[in-house]
């Protein structure tokens, strides 16, 4: 909790929160990091295998194999989400399964599955990017900012 | 009647003549499966949305309670209940099916005891001969309402709790045989400035402690008067914290007489993290398991304290703290 919020608490609230903190089960951070490292690593390993597969068996190069690989990974993640497996992997893997592109696929498809009872337009269409929308928005915006900085540095910075 | 500031003592002793409890597949694998009247193997209950399934849970529990009491649904004068879904539609829609006059309640997970307290008050003052009161929750419908989509891969912290899929309904009457509702203490809204919606137990514990201590003071009772003081859904953390608070306040509650419905309903092997929660949690455990044990003579007097966190997804996103409430109802059976 930020200090700013803590300042607004009454002494009784603060005392209680300190007491509560002692009893609270802590997130096992180190264990979670190790699990996330291996879960994320395995996902990326599968991705790498798929990329090599596209390079060796189809006419893709290192540069062009990225797109079909991402597509395939998202497809697999969507299947796993639909079968109700991905959320279990995520409970184990945490950030390891959330950060790769499969986590993004899961965020989109889980919202679609959830809201299909409200119909295709208002349900699926309206809620599809409920979770992923802010990732797209801020991802695109940060890319824009970085690209602008890069352009300025190249144009006027003489890099 | 009114004893102290917020405790009602029911001198007419309204009777819980029958109860109906319905659970879902996760509860069927739980520790109290044999105490449910009806268990479903399908989370959808054959419906095409979780909200409809939620409604069916309550409908079936109500029908079971009426059936077990040997009554017709026309004889039921009121229904008092609620749930967690927007505008408590599952309960309202179930009452559309039932056709009884209806008072919708919202007390989050404390709705079960809010309903029982008000129901007992109505029966006690001759406001009704037969009334139903109940609460229900559906795991995925509630997750959808309060958290992320059910299939979304977000890691839950160890303080999180698992919402029960189930409905528990009690049929109260002014006459008959069964456990009696003897008193009720209405809770205050307590806010300790907690903000983590994945740690409800920690947020709700002070409300439970406040209500229990008020109940004991106002009725001038010692905790040992009750064979069991059972909270609704504090989970492991809430229970531990409230025991600490009792110790600090010098309230002599023994650890073994202080239990939590959220820790009873599932097996240890089930992945529920800190315990169960939801209005259906206290409703099914009390109206199923605990009343069965009372009828077997294991307990004579119990105090049920259902705790509720009065937040909404909106209030949480606006960085509001989580206000909580707890209502206590004492149930006695046999042995005056």
ipTM comes to 0.84
Tokens of A132: 């992923």
Question: In this structure, are A39 and A109 located in the same domain?
Answer: yes
Question: In this structure, are B68 and B156 located in the same domain?
Answer: yes
CB contact under 8 A, B48 and A91: no
Nearest CB to A84 within list B50, B151, B155: B151
Q: Could you tell me the residue range of the domain that residue A51 belongs to?
A: 28-128
Question: In this structure, are A75 and A124 located in the same domain?
Answer: yes
Overall number of domains in chain A: 2
Average pLDDT, integer, range A136-157? 93
Q: CB–CB of B266/B272 below 8 Å?
A: yes
Q: Could you tell me the residue range of the domain that residue B199 belongs to?
A: 180-332
- State which residue of chain A sits closest to B190, comparing Cα positions: A13
A109 falls within a domain:
yes
Spatial neighbors of A121 by CB under 8 A, at least 6 apart, are none
From B142, B173, B204, the end of a domain falls on: B173
B-chain CB neighbours of A91 within 8 Å are 153, 155-156, 271
Residue with tokens 């109860």: B19
Question: In this structure, are A95 and A114 located in the same domain?
Answer: yes
Question: In this structure, are A91 and A155 located in the same domain?
Answer: no
**Per-residue pLDDT, A115:** 92
Question: In this structure, are A33 and A76 located in the same domain?
Answer: yes
CB contact under 8 A, A84 and B51: no
- pLDDT tens per residue, range B199-214: 999 999 999 999 999 9
B72-102: string of b/e by CB count within 10 Å (b at 16+)? Answer: ebeebebbbbbbbbeebbbbbbbbeebebeb
Question: In this structure, are B127 and B213 located in the same domain?
Answer: no
Question: In this structure, are A140 and A114 located in the same domain?
Answer: no
Question: In this structure, are B188 and B72 located in the same domain?
Answer: no
From B152, B173, B194, the end of a domain falls on: B173
Q: Decide: helix, strand or coil at residue B257.
A: helix
Question: In this structure, are A54 and A101 located in the same domain?
Answer: yes
Apex CA B148: angle with CA B279 and CA B25, to 5°? 50
**Per-residue pLDDT, A1:** 44
From B173, B202, B231, the end of a domain falls on: B173
A62-80: string of b/e by CB count within 10 Å (b at 16+)? Answer: eeebeeebbebbbebbbeb
CB contact under 8 A, B153 and A98: yes
Full-model pTM: 0.92
Question: In this structure, are B169 and B184 located in the same domain?
Answer: no
d(CA A41, CA A43): 5
- State which residue of chain B sits closest to A80, comparing Cα positions: B151
Report the percent of chain A where pLDDT is more than 90: 74
Backbone angles phi and psi of B274, in degrees to 5: -85, -5
Average pLDDT, integer, range B104-133? 96
Question: In this structure, are A66 and A113 located in the same domain?
Answer: yes
Overall number of domains in chain B: 2
Question: In this structure, are B318 and B202 located in the same domain?
Answer: yes
What stretch of H or E contains B71? none
Question: In this structure, are B9 and B154 located in the same domain?
Answer: yes
Average pLDDT, integer, range B233-242? 94
d(CA B40, CA B287): 18
- pLDDT tens per residue, range B178-199: 999 999 999 999 999 999 999 9
Q: CB–CB of B160/A24 below 8 Å?
A: no
Question: In this structure, are B73 and B148 located in the same domain?
Answer: yes
pLDDT exceeds cutoff 80 at B62? yes
Question: In this structure, are A69 and A134 located in the same domain?
Answer: no
Residue with tokens 């069964």: B178
| CB-facing half-sphere around the CA of B111: CA atoms within 13 A | 31
Spatial neighbors of A47 by CB under 8 A, at least 6 apart, are A69, A73, A100, A101
Phi-psi map region of B324: left, alpha, beta (phi>0 left; psi -120 to 50 alpha) = beta
Question: What CATH number should be reported for the domain holding residue B103?
Answer: 3.40.47.40
What stretch of H or E contains B157? none
């Amino acid at each position: 909790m930020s200090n700013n919020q803590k300042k607004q608490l009454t002494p009784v609230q603060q005392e209680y929160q300190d007491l509560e903190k002692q009893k609270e089960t802590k997130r096992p951070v180190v264990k979670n990091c190790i699990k996330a490292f291996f879960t994320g690593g395995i996902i990326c390993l599968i991705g790498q295998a798929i990329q090599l597969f596209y390079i060796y068996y189809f006419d893709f190069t290192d540069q062009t194999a990225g797109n079909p690989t991402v597509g395939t990974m998202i497809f697999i993640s969507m299947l796993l989400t639909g079968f109700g497996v991905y959320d279990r992997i995520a409970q184990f893997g945490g950030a390891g399964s959330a950060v790769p592109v499969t986590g993004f696929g899961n965020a989109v498809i889980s919202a679609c599955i959830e809201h299909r009872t409200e119909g295709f337009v208002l349900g699926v269409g309206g809620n599809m990017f409920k979770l992923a929308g802010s990732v797209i928005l801020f991802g695109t915006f940060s890319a824009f900012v970085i690209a602008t900085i890069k352009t300025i540095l190249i144009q006027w910075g003489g890099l | 009647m009114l004893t102290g500031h917020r405790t009602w003592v029911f001198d007419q002793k309204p009777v819980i003549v029958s109860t109906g409890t319905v659970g879902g597949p996760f509860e069927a694998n739980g520790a109290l499966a044999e105490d449910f009247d009806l268990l479903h193997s399908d989370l959808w209950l054959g419906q095409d949305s979780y909200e409809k399934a939620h409604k069916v849970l309550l409908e079936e529990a109500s029908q079971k309670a009426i059936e077990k009491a040997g009554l017709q649904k026309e004889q039921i004068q009121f229904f008092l209940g609620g749930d967690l879904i927007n505008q408590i539609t599952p309960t309202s829609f179930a009452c559309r099916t039932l056709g009884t006059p209806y008072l919708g309640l919202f007390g989050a997970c404390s709705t079960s005891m809010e309903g029982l307290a008000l129901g007992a008050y109505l029966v006690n003052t001759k406001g009704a001969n037969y009334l139903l009161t109940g609460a229900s929750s559906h795991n995925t419908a509630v997750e959808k309402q309060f958290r992320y989509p059910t299939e979304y891969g977000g890691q839950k912290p160890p303080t999180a709790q698992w919402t029960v899929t189930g409905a528990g309904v009690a049929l109260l009457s002014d006459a008959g045989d069964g456990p009696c509702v003897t008193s009720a203490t209405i809770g205050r809204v307590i806010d300790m400035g907690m903000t983590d919606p994945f740690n409800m137990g920690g947020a709700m514990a002070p409300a439970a402690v406040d209500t229990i201590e008020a109940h004991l003071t106002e009725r001038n009772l010692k905790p040992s008067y009750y064979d069991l003081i059972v909270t609704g859904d504090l989970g492991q953390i809430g229970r531990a914290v409230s025991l600490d608070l009792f110790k600090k306040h010098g309230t002599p509650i023994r650890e073994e007489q202080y239990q939590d419905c959220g820790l009873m309903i599932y097996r240890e092997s089930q992945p529920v993290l800190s315990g169960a929660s939801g209005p259906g949690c206290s409703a099914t455990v009390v109206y199923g398991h605990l009343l069965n044990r009372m009828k077997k003579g294991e307990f004579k007097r119990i105090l049920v304290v259902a705790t509720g966190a009065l937040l909404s997804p909106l209030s949480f996103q606006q960085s509001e703290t989580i206000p909580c409430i707890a209502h206590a109802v004492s149930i006695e059976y046999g042995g005056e």
